[in-house]
């Protein structure tokens, strides 16, 4: 089985909520019924995450308005579902990824298929510094940073998508796409984001640890961070 991530853009005339409704009510049910599509997750920048605007980082504007995750038997069969996607979006790009899930969000904040997942989901497109080779980057990110991120933040869901291949010529070059679930309070509160309980010293400690760890393996001139609402439409069984 393979996982494909689709970056999706809405038309300028649409609001984020209108785009969300089209993707949820028209596109997702059709895709979910296709043979060979085993799982579907939708993340979209809608009004429910408007309060998280200060968390947003755009190094490659315009950043996607939504991200679609599909688990399929074979990415090479994309011609059977991509025309359906094209009917509902202004633009798309695709990545074949290898997913790891250090934190499974359904364990703490379960949702029914199609329901909005608790809080917000940070969708992050990132690349390693040009001076860093792939094996060194993976060792730092996977073997060291993962636990630091879990220990210093209030995340309850954490998915790491290693980009194996860009499936679209115009897809933004990046090395990884991360999905992180945070509680709703983290949209506006640094204390909630870094799980400090209001302790200023702990906030400084966690923020410093997280930023110092990220600086080891992320090129901050190429990072995009997009707060989104998440909908697990068809859980992977």
Domain 2-234 class in CATH? alpha beta
pLDDT at 231 exceeding the cut of 80: yes
User: In angstroms, what CA-CA distances link 91 with 10, 27, 87, 88, 219?
Assistant: 7, 14, 10, 9, 26
For residues 112 and 117, give the distance between their C-alpha atoms in angstroms, rounded to a whole number: 9
Per the CB < 8 A criterion, the answer to whether 116 and 51 are in contact is no
pLDDT per position as a tens digit, 117-127: 999 999 999 99
Residue from 121, 77, 70 nearest 97 by CA: 70
* CA within 13 Å, CB half, 53: 3
Query: Residue 112: its pLDDT value, please?
Result: 87
pLDDT per position as a tens digit, 23-68: 999 999 999 999 999 999 999 999 999 999 999 999 999 999 999 9
Domain boundaries, the chain: 2-234
């Amino acid at each position: 089985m393979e996982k494909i991530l689709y970056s999706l853009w809405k038309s300028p005339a649409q609001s984020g909520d209108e785009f969300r409704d089209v993707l949820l009510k028209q596109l997702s049910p059709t895709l979910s019924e296709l043979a060979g599509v085993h799982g579907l997750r939708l993340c979209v920048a809608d009004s429910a995450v408007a309060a998280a605007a200060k968390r947003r980082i755009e190094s490659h504007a315009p950043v996607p308005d939504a991200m679609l995750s599909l688990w399929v038997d074979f990415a090479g069969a994309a011609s059977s579902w991509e025309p359906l996607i094209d009917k509902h979006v202004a633009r798309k790009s695709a990545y074949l990824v290898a997913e790891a899930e250090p934190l499974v969000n359904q364990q703490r904040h379960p949702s029914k298929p199609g329901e909005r997942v608790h809080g917000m989901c940070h969708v992050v497109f990132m690349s390693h510094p040009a001076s860093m080779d792939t094996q060194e980057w993976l060792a730092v990110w996977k073997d060291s940073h993962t636990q630091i991120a879990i220990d210093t933040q209030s995340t309850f869901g954490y998915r790491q998508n290693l980009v194996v291949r860009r499936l679209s010529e115009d897809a933004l070059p990046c090395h990884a796409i991360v999905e992180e679930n945070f509680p709703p309070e983290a949209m506006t509160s640094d204390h909630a984001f870094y799980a400090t309980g209001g302790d200023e010293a702990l906030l400084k400690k966690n923020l410093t640890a997280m930023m110092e760890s990220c600086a080891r393996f992320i090129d901050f001139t190429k990072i995009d961070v997009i707060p989104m609402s998440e909908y697990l439409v068809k859980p992977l069984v």
